[in-house]
């Protein structure tokens, strides 16, 4: 019998905190979760607003055909290596329980490649007394960006998947990474605890970004030769040209989150305004803006590889309970299709072909992932 319910409740809370802040040896294991199929969801015939409602419509009306959905319990899909292999974080009881008193009875989470066709796990990284997650592959699949945490703030690491060598994004020059994302296949960027932004190369070189030192930054994204950022002092989206060091303020104010398109020519921008959030689509210079979705709380944002589809969730509170609904927006038809509903926080990730969308549901009861087939 578990005598530490309050302590164990900290584990999903910590994982949910990491999701909110983000964005995550070798060996094999053959135990796999049993996929569970659920019926294809009803499609939406109109663009969602603050309270999107799905109504029956033929798949061609939204430009999206939704197929089977399979659930994989007790794992969190972080990323895709190929269309049959995903990067997952899951509990590793082989390491024994966590030794921290606050987490006694819980087990560390380790990183694996999970092979969808065979149901086998391939260990990527494990560490005693540590939760590993928030993992993202470099575009060439040679390196893995991930986070480690137990209590407190996560520490970001980069692993060479060939040699299994890792380094942490820390050091006196940046005092640690507040966040991390891939700028290109060789470079990670993010806001630094020392103020300003940093770059970290896959060779292990870490340096502050010249021209931004000392500023308390929130959003940090590198797109081509420009650093996009917001600060505590200015929530408008700003840019720093990494070659000329010239700064500019874009016509986007405020910008709570920025997600570049795969070709880096467009931006998804999440804006926070009083009790409403707005998802904008714009060119890379912030111009030609259009509103895609409005809602009380938006999340689970991601682009499909071909840039035609955008995944997002809308949270609505009813009778004291918050429910999230996951949608896919088709830019070619300006319509959305409803995918799933959840009582927890959601994250999404696309397969390289764009034919599969994974979503992970995070709640106080744990986490599980599902994969939906799309056409």
**How many C-beta atoms lie closer than 10 Å to residue 346's C-beta?**
24
The number of residues making up the chain comes to 375
* DSSP H stretches of helix in the chain: 5-21, 59-62
pLDDT by 10s per residue, the chain, length 375: 333 333 333 444 455 445 544 433 233 332 333 333 433 333 333 344 433 333 333 344 467 889 999 999 999 999 999 999 999 999 999 999 999 888 878 899 999 999 999 999 999 999 999 999 999 999 999 999 999 998 889 999 999 999 999 999 999 999 999 999 999 999 999 999 999 999 999 999 999 999 998 889 999 999 999 999 999 999 999 999 999 999 999 999 999 999 999 999 999 999 998 889 999 999 999 999 999 999 989 999 999 999 999 999 999 887 777 889 999 999 999 999 999 999 889 999 999 999 999 999 988 778 899 999 998
Radius of gyration of the chain, Cα coordinates, nearest whole angstrom: 20
Instruction: Give CATH for domain 5-374.
Output: 2.130.10.10
**How many C-beta atoms lie closer than 10 Å to residue 10's C-beta?**
18
Bridge partners (DSSP) of residue 269 are 258, 280
Distance of alpha carbon 366 from the chain centroid: 17
Distance of alpha carbon 25 from the chain centroid: 25
pTM, rounded to two decimals: 0.85
171 three-class SS: coil
Q: What is the DSSP string of 102-158?
A: GGTT---EEEEEEETTTTEEEEEE--TT-EEEEEEE-TTSSEEEEEEESSSS-EEEE
Residue 93 has phi, psi (to 5 degrees) of: -75, -10
Task: Give the burial class of 158: count Cβ atoms within 10 A of its Cβ; 0-12 exposed, 13-18 middle, 19 or more buried.
Answer: buried
CA distances from 62 to 47, 54, 101, 167, 335 (A): 9, 11, 51, 45, 5
């Amino acid at each position: 019998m578990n005598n530490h319910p309050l302590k164990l409740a900290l584990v999903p809370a910590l994982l949910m905190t990491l999701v909110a802040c983000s964005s995550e040896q070798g060996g094999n294991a053959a135990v796999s979760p049993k996929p569970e199929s659920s019926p294809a969801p009803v499609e939406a015939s109109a663009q969602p607003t603050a309270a999107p409602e799905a109504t029956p419509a033929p798949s061609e009306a939204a430009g999206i055909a939704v197929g089977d959905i399979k659930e994989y319990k007790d794992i969190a899909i972080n990323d895709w290596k190929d269309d049959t292999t995903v990067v997952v974080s899951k509990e590793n009881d082989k390491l024994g329980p966590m030794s921290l008193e606050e987490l006694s009875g819980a087990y560390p989470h380790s990183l694996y490649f999970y092979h969808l066709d065979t149901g086998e796990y391939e260990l990527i990284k494990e560490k005693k007394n540590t939760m590993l997650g928030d993992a993202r592959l470099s575009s060439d699949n040679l390196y893995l960006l991930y986070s480690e945490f137990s209590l407190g703030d996560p520490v970001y690491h980069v692993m060479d998947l060939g040699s299994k060598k890792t380094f942490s994004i820390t050091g006196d020059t940046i005092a640690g990474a507040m966040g991390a994302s891939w700028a290109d296949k060789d470079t990670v960027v993010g806001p630094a605890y020392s103020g300003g932004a940093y770059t970290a190369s896959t060779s292990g070189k870490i340096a502050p970004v010249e021209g931004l030192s000392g500023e308390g930054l929130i959003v940090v994204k590198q797109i081509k030769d420009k650093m996009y950022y917001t600060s505590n002092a200015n929530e408008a989206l700003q840019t720093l040209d990494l070659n000329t060091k010239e700064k500019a303020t874009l016509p986007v104010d405020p910008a709570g989150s920025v997600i570049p398109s795969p070709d880096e020519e467009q931006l998804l921008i999440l804006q926070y305004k009083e009790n409403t959030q707005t998802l904008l689509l714009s060119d890379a210079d912030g111009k030609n803006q259009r509103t895609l979705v409005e809602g009380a709380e938006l999340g689970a944002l991601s682009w499909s590889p071909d840039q035609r589809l955008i995944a997002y969730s809308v949270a609505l509170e009813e009778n004291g309970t918050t429910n999230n609904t996951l949608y896919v927006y088709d830019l070619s038809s300006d319509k959305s299709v409803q995918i799933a509903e959840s009582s927890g926080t959601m994250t999404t990730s696309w397969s390289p072909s764009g034919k599969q969308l994974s979503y992970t549901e995070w709640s106080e009861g744990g986490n599980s992932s599902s994969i939906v087939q799309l056409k």
